């Protein structure tokens, strides 16, 4: 059974640009959550999608958005990138509200 797949693995963007990250959950999992990991703030919850609906949102500015498709794949978008958005972005997939399996992450560097 394939795990959670995140693409791309690495990204370099310049300030002011926008970026889209992709997450394919484990087959049969309908919940996808996104987290930002930085050395200073640790792991912080961004948002969760279930059956194409955003079910919960963390405390991030509106520049961070996401969506989920009918096949449960999810994308997150960050607009008007700032240097402080440099981080490892992790996606987690769950079938029910029990285990959460993470992908390898996308490392975003904003220069």
Partner 1 sequence: GEDVEQSLFLSVREGDSSVINCTYTDSSSTYLYWYKQEPGAGLQLLTYIFSNMDMKQDQRLTVLLNKKDKHLSLRIADTQTGDSAIYFCAERGNNNDMRFGAGTRLTVKP
Distance CA 29, CA 101 (A): 10
Distance CA 59, CA 81 (A): 17
Site string for partner 1, 90-109 (x = CB under 8 A): x-x----xxxxxxxxx----
At its nearest, how many Å lie between partner 1 and the CB of residue 44? 8
Site string for partner 1, 36-65 (x = CB under 8 A): ------xx-x--x------xx-x-------
User: Which residue's CB is nearer to partner 1, number 38 or number 80?
Assistant: 38
Distance CA 95, CA 108 (A): 27
| Nearest alpha-carbon partner for 51 in 86, 106, 21, 95 | 95
At its nearest, how many Å lie between partner 1 and the CB of residue 85? 19
Q: For residue 43, what are the β-bridge partners? A: 37
Chain residues in the site for partner 1 (CB under 8 A): 4, 6, 31, 33, 35, 42-43, 45, 48, 55-56, 58, 90, 92, 97-105
């Amino acid at each position: 059974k394939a795990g959670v797949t995140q693409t791309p693995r690495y990204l370099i963007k310049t300030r002011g640009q926008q970026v889209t990250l992709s997450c394919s959950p484990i087959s049969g999992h309908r919940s996808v959550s996104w987290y930002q990991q930085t050395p200073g703030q640790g792991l912080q919850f961004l948002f969760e999608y279930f059956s194409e609906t955003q079910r919960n949102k963390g405390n991030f500015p509106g520049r961070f958005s996401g969506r989920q498709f009918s096949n449960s794949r999810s994308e997150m978008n960050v607009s008007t990138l700032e240097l402080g958005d440099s981080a490892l972005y992790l996606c987690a997939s769950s079938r029910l509200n029990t285990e959460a399996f993470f992908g390898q992450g996308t490392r975003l560097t904003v220069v």
